[in-house]
Amino acid sequence: MSKKRLLPVLLTLIIWAGMYYYYLPALNIHSNESWGFFVAMVAAALVINFWTLFKATFLNPADTDRTTRLRRMKRMLALPLGLCVVYFLGVLLSSPILRAAAYRELLAVETGDFAEDIHEVDYSQIPILDSDSAAKLAEREMGNMVDMVSQYEVSPYFSQINYQNKPVRVTPLQYGDVIKWIMNRGTGVPAYIRIDMTTQDVELVRLEEGIKYAPFEHFGRNLNRYIRFRYPTAMIRTSNFEINEDGVPFWVCEVEDKTIGLFGGTDIKGAIVVNAITGEHEYYDVSDVPKWIDRVYDAPLLVEQYDYYGTLKKGYINSIFGQRECLQTTEGYNYIALDDDVWVYTGVTSIGGDESNVGFVLMNSRTKETKYYQISGAKETSAMYSAEGQVQHLNYRATFPILLNIADEPTYFLSLKDNAGLVKKYAMVNIQKYQIVAIGDTVAECEKAYRALMAGNGIEITESSDTEELTGIIQMMKSIVSDGNTYYYLMLEGENTLFEAEAKKHLDILRKETGDEIWLKYIPSKDGICVITELK
């Protein structure tokens, strides 16, 4: 081969290698990205070798027959045209139009029992921050770190996880810019931020060894490139930042699979777990993922699969035209912690545009276990408007709600934020009777007002199973009037706890005075004020 012909070939190979290094497509026939990359490779080769191909096809002095030239052109076009046909056939044969039943079976849905599956609220487990508020708190904390703020900034890789049985959000720091990366890459990123979602406490966790593998790194330590060169066929959907129970940072990379035809039925078959400090990595099938990992299935994928399940019950045509028995998820989702797992919560409504929910679903982000609860009531947006209406003079905005069990009543819990994005108040809205809206400056105060509103609206309140009993001598007793109701507050000898009793519910309290012996049954509370459920 002459040098004139060799040069375009070498240039083509170099361009292809550069394209692969930059775009990092999975070498997988099921990847749309790979098909697009192959088209880009062919286009680049045609541009680079255009003159060589043109001369060989049209200016070859040995070929004077027009038929021969046309035959050569057809042979050149056969491969790309054939690939286009295969691609579009693959798209069609993988679509819900022809495979509606297969799409509906992507997600197995069980019917759950609300009172049994979702236990009574534990204030230490309620996440009161959304992602925006968590990011603002992290930025504020970072501004106080004089030794780091000049070199690093908060990264956008926030993940909500359960850490030591508490809901937290975690994110690593990242380099401020390329120059700062050059100056600090030897030691890596020295810390990550951990935010307690229940107390709003922000902690900058300093590491003995820095984070060296991350999506914001460059060259061989860039997480996407690092994984691609070790798992060339793996289709990576997302990479989320997590820490194990010892606080060691990891990247959990979802490995995508196509289960219907060539390109359809997106699902997760496993996860690649990478130690963010050392780069040690291991692939786990979905069934073998360690329990400390909280997210293998991302929320948008779970919501998409439930929408297939809800809309394709009677086929694709019905989902477009008749829409009989078709259900879909509502406009948003949130996360709740149950049994040390993170579950995605979203409401379920009919396709007809109703302003109410017919139920809701919980989807485990580690195992994909899904439970449906047929409880009709207000949509999340309606609950948000109701809560905002209670504080409209303050112009607070409600976060997307999470689901709580309060006295066996399905309840929306929302945080109310000011214009600066800081949480100022809390709201609870009854799902089935969303005119019942309670507001409080603390979660405990909000819950107390909510129970009182439910009782006032004729909703029978079930007693908490976590009550305790105590007998003692009344050391102090005072009464106050709040919202037209009289409350008595007691302290017993040898106890620092303050006990609260509503007079109209416990008339025997009127017969008591300081120095009398009293027997109490009460609900323990971490805020130091315990509500009395029974007294003698």
Task: Report yes or no: 473 and 515 within 8 Å, Cβ to Cβ.
Answer: yes
Q: What does the alpha-carbon distance between residue 254 and residue 295 come to, in Å, rounded to a whole number?
A: 9
483-491 mean pLDDT: 78
276-280 long-range contacts, Cβ below 8 Å, gap at least 24?
Answer: 276/172, 276/211, 276/212, 276/213, 276/214, 276/241, 276/249, 276/250, 276/251, 277/188, 277/207, 277/209, 277/210, 277/211, 277/212, 277/213, 277/248, 277/249, 278/209, 278/212, 279/212, 279/213, 279/221, 279/226
Residue 58 in this model has a pLDDT that exceeds 60:
no
105-131 mean pLDDT: 84
Q: Strands 109-111 and 370-373, how do they pair?
A: parallel
Q: How confident is the model at residue 60 (pLDDT cuts 50, 70, 90)?
A: low
Average pLDDT for the chain: 87
DSSP-assigned letter for residue 222:
B
Task: Report yes or no: 272 and 223 within 8 Å, Cβ to Cβ.
Answer: no
Measured in whole angstroms, the distance separating CA 384 from the mean position of its chain's CA atoms is 20
Rounded to a whole number of angstroms, the CA Rg of the chain reads 30
Q: How confident is the model at residue 46 (pLDDT cuts 50, 70, 90)?
A: confident
380: nearest Cα among 410, 408, 343: 410
325-329 long-range contacts, Cβ below 8 Å, gap at least 24?
Answer: 326/350, 326/351, 327/351, 327/358, 329/303, 329/361
**Which region among 37-46, 68-77, 125-134, 415-424 has the lowest average model confidence (pLDDT)?**
68-77
- Beta bridge partner(s), residue 243: 249
Q: What is the CB neighbour count within 10 angstroms for residue 508?
A: 12
For residues 23-51, one letter each, b for 16 or more C-beta atoms within 10 angstroms of the residue's C-beta and e for the rest, the string is: ebbbebebbbebbebeeebeebbeebbee
Residue 513 in this model has a pLDDT that exceeds 90:
no
Burial class (CB in 10 A: 0-12, 13-18, 19+), 170: buried
**Which region among 97-106, 236-245, 452-461, 501-510 has the lowest average model confidence (pLDDT)?**
452-461
Q: What does the alpha-carbon distance between residue 164 and residue 162 come to, in Å, rounded to a whole number?
A: 6
- What residue spans of 412-515 are helical by DSSP H? 443-456
**Which region among 6-10, 240-244, 300-304 has the lowest average model confidence (pLDDT)?**
6-10
Q: What does the alpha-carbon distance between residue 197 and residue 133 come to, in Å, rounded to a whole number?
A: 10
**pLDDT 10s digits, 365-416:** 999 999 999 988 888 998 999 999 999 888 999 999 988 888 888 999 999 9
Give phi and psi for 153, each to the nearest 5. Answer: -145, 170
**pLDDT in the model for residue 210:** 94
Residue 511 in this model has a pLDDT that exceeds 70:
yes
Query: H-helix or E-strand containing 13?
Result: helix 3-23
Q: What does the alpha-carbon distance between residue 178 and residue 219 come to, in Å, rounded to a whole number?
A: 12
pTM strictly above 0.85 = no
Tell me what percent of the residues of the chain surpass a pLDDT of 70.
90
3-state secondary structure of 60: coil
Query: Which residues, 6 or more positions from 478, have their beta carbon under 8 angstroms from its beta carbon?
Result: 488, 489
Q: How confident is the model at residue 462 (pLDDT cuts 50, 70, 90)?
A: low
Q: What does the alpha-carbon distance between residue 62 and residue 54 come to, in Å, rounded to a whole number?
A: 14
**pLDDT 10s digits, 278-328:** 999 999 999 999 999 999 999 999 999 999 999 998 899 988 888 888 999
- Beta bridge partner(s), residue 305: none
Residue 494 tokens read as: 């040898």
28-43 mean pLDDT: 89
Q: What is the CB neighbour count within 10 angstroms for residue 324?
A: 10
Domain spanning 468-535: CATH superfamily: Nucleic acid-binding proteins (2.40.50.140)
Tell me what percent of the residues of the chain surpass a pLDDT of 90.
46
Domain ranges of the chain: 3-93, 126-296, 380-456, 468-535
Q: Strands 189-196 and 166-175, how do they pair?
A: antiparallel
119-138 mean pLDDT: 80
Angle at 397 (CA atoms; ends 392, 399), nearest 5 degrees: 140
- What distances in angstroms separate CA 229 from CA 128, 146, 448, one per listed residue? 40, 38, 56
258: nearest Cα among 498, 519, 28, 508: 28
Q: What does the alpha-carbon distance between residue 279 and residue 273 come to, in Å, rounded to a whole number?
A: 9
Query: Which residues, 6 or more positions from 533, have their beta carbon under 8 angstroms from its beta carbon?
Result: 463, 464, 467, 521, 522, 523
More confident: 47 or 56: 47
Q: Strands 485-492 and 529-535, how do they pair?
A: unpaired
Q: How confident is the model at residue 515 (pLDDT cuts 50, 70, 90)?
A: confident
More confident: 59 or 311: 311
**pLDDT in the model for residue 258:** 95
6-22 mean pLDDT: 88
Residue 247 in this model has a pLDDT that exceeds 80:
yes
